Amino acid sequence: MTVRLITGSAHDLSALPAQSVHASMFSPPYFGLRSYHGDQSVNWPDVTYCPMPGMPSITVPVMSCPLGNEPTIEAYIGHMILVMREVWRVLRDDGTCWVNLGDTYSNSAASRPSSHRAGHEFDSRWQQQMSLDEIKEKDMMMVPARFALAAQADGWYVRNDIIWAKGVSFNPVYSGSTMPQSRTDAFTQSHEYVWLLAKGKRYWFDMHAVKEEPVSYTRKGGTASYTANGSATHGVGSKSMHQMSATGRTPRTVWTINPSG
Q: List pLDDT tens digits, range 129-155.
A: 333 557 888 888 999 999 999 999 999
Tell me if 60 sits within 8 A of 157, measured CB to CB: no
pLDDT tens column, 196-222 = 999 999 999 988 888 888 766 445 555
Distance CA 77, CA 83 (A): 10
Q: 34: exposed, middle or buried (C-beta count within 10 Å: 0-12, 13-18, 19+)?
A: buried
| Secondary structure (DSSP) of 98-167 | EEEE---BTT-GGGS-GGGTTT-PPPTTHHHHH--TTS-TT-B--HHHHHHHHHHHTT-EEEEEEEEESB
Mean pLDDT, residues 178-182 taken together: 76
Q: How many CB atoms lie within 10 A of CB 78?
A: 23
Question: What domains appear along the chain, each with residue ranges and CATH number?
Answer: 10-205 (3.40.50)
Note whether 116 and 34 are within 8 A (CB): yes
Inter-CA distances, 71 with 11, 51, 104, 206, Å? 21, 17, 15, 40
Enter the pTM of the model: 0.78
- Is 174 strand, coil or helix? coil
CA-nearest of 189, 226, 259 to 27 is: 259
pLDDT score at 261: 57
Nearest 5 degrees, angle CA 172-CA 175-CA 176? 155
Note the pLDDT tens digit of each residue in 17-63: 999 999 999 999 999 876 666 678 899 999 999 999 999 999 999 99
